[in-house]
């Protein structure tokens, strides 16, 4: 939801979709935080209303793709149409942004071989198994990594850096 709002703020038209959902349906977001335990917490978030139909979306109509973080990618990567959409954007060298667990979808789509990718540390093994190069986030979760058309980041604290780098790939004018 936050990346969607940030992209709208800088003037982009954004459509949101989810497998099995139509425009006007909603998905429940999750709020993640680092509570001092060995992993993050996940709490119910907002009802995020979708504004397009997954089944009828045409990738040729879009300039870029944003993949969510959180636990959704674990399930989204099981949908072959999701993977086909990712492959389409990559084959056309259109910008793709993925954060947190989002690179699980990139790995499942088979587009990471020989490429560098940042992600939540627990996803490191997915990146490695897909032939990618994990960008270590141990220095902090607030940075993003760009390689070619891919912009990746480890977690929500990186939203500003991640969206800034993605927006630059889109040709957006961003003031320092």
**Active site members:** 100-101
What the block records as the tokens of 82 is: 């999701």
Residue in 106, 102, 15 with CA at minimum distance from that of residue 58: 15
Count CA atoms closer than 13 A to 167's CA, side-chain side.
Answer: 22
Contact 94, 62 (CB under 8 A): yes
CA distance 29 to 120: 18
Contact 144, 155 (CB under 8 A): no
CA distance 165 to 167: 5
For residue 93, with 0-12 CB atoms within 10 Å meaning exposed, 13-18 middle and 19 or more buried, which class applies?
exposed
Contact 135, 120 (CB under 8 A): no
């Amino acid at each position: 939801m936050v990346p969607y709002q940030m992209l709208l703020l800088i003037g982009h038209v954004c459509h949101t979709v989810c497998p099995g959902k139509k425009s006007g349906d909603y998905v429940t977001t999750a709020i993640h935080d680092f509570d001092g335990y060995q992993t993050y917490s996940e709490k119910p978030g907002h009802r995020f209303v979708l504004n397009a139909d997954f089944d009828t979306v045409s990738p040729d109509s879009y300039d870029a793709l944003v993949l969510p973080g959180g636990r959704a990618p674990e399930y989204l990567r099981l949908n072959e149409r999701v993977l086909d959409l990712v492959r389409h954007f990559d084959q056309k060298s259109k910008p793709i942004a993925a954060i947190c667990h989002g690179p699980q979808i990139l790995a499942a789509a088979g587009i990471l071989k020989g490429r560098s990718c940042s992600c939540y540390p627990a996803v490191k093994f997915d990146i490695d198994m897909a032939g990618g190069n994990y960008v270590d986030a141990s220095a902090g979760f607030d940075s993003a990594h760009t390689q070619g058309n891919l912009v990746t980041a480890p977690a929500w604290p990186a939203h500003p850096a991640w969206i800034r780098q993605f927006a630059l790939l889109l040709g957006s004018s961003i003031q320092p």
